[in-house]
Amino acid sequence: MYPDTEKRFIKANRITIFVLFLVILAGGVVRSTGSGMGCPDWPKCFNRIIPPTNVSQLPAGYEQHYIDGRVKKNQRFAKMVAFFGYPEMADKIRHDESILKHEEFNAAKTWTEYINRLVGVTVGFCLLFSAIFSFTYRKSKPSILWWSVLNLIVVVIQAWLGSIVVSTNLMPWIITVHMLLALIIVAISIYTFYLATTMRNKSILINNRFDLLKGIAVFLLLLTVVQVVYGTEVREAIDHLNYEGVSRQDWISSIGASYDIHRMLAYISLGATVLLFFLVKNKFSSLTLQSRYAWIILILVGVQMVSGIILARFNVPAVAQTTHLVFASLFFGAQYYLMLLMTKLKR
């Protein structure tokens, strides 16, 4: 059905999507273990390709050296932020004293962050090969080529933003942008996979317009994005409470409005997912991709709710934090693909 060159792109695209979720998993582990500053520089780790395992391997005077480097990078970043019309934010970056502090060396945190970077490099190569293989569509479906190349550019921006996350000592709003950009990269990869697979296999698409179904799917997807933003704010608030020495059992009660909104949106998301599930099951055969992904998002939202309850009831355990983040990303990806599958077949 598919020429070999197209099979090669589809396979590379599928692997890329899988590795992208591995990156999000690795990032979740880094966040939940507090390993974000395990490597004080970027892209190397303590100026080494292979990071140290013992404090005796650290370069002399490394603390001040990396602090000075972060200050210079942040000054350049602040200029860019001011150029785009955010002078107050730029001023905050310039005068953020937290970057003048360094974390004590911890081999476990260093290697956790290092593995996260290795997975990030892997996904960069995956996107590079996907972009190269997408040239097979330059005449038959040029949009696949353009989106694949764009995704490669976006991942380079994401890598640069990762360096800013390190240099600003995990500044909250930059982490939020970093997470949203990761979801954009996932969405583009899913979209190119969808375009490539439906170009020759039209049976994947539907024969009739279901505007209500697609409308609910779009609403649910946007709701998930908003959920991610508020979820990141909740996580940032927890980091701040932890830094201030607030007792772990008081974290949830001390977060404030962002947690309440996040929880309220979770129940709305659950209701919309259940509604979409029954509507899809009513319209599509159980053998269709649409029906299969309706089941997938129903299971994923269930896992999300359970992990959220565990976070709230058991003082935010690290494992549940990572689970909550990864399954939120999987939920977003499955929702997005289901929304695309609601596209009417063009005749």
Mean pLDDT of the 62-86 span:
78
**pLDDT for 37-54, tens place per residue?**
778 777 788 888 888 888
Q: How many CB atoms lie within 10 A of CB 163?
A: 15
d(CA 150, CA 153): 5
Class of domain 204-347: mainly alpha
**pLDDT for 87-103, tens place per residue?**
877 787 777 776 666 67
d(CA 141, CA 72): 44
**What's the whole-number average pLDDT of the chain?**
86
Of the ranges 90-99, 188-197, 231-240, which one carries the lowest mean pLDDT score? 90-99
Is the pTM value of this prediction over 0.85? yes
Domain boundaries, the chain: 1-200, 204-347
Of the ranges 138-147, 231-240, 255-264, 313-322, which one carries the lowest mean pLDDT score? 231-240
**pLDDT given for residue 170 in this prediction:** 62
DSSP at 45: B
d(CA 299, CA 280): 15
**pLDDT given for residue 128 in this prediction:** 96
Helix (H) and strand (E) counts in the chain: 11, 0
**pLDDT given for residue 221 in this prediction:** 92
Quick one: how far is CA 240 from the chain centroid? 21
pLDDT tier at 267, thresholds 50, 70, 90:
very high
**pLDDT for 279-311, tens place per residue?**
998 888 888 888 999 999 999 999 999 999 998
**pLDDT for 109-140, tens place per residue?**
889 989 988 998 999 999 999 999 999 999 99
For 2, 30, 141, 200, 286, the CA distances from 197, given in Å and listed in that order, are 9, 34, 11, 6, 20
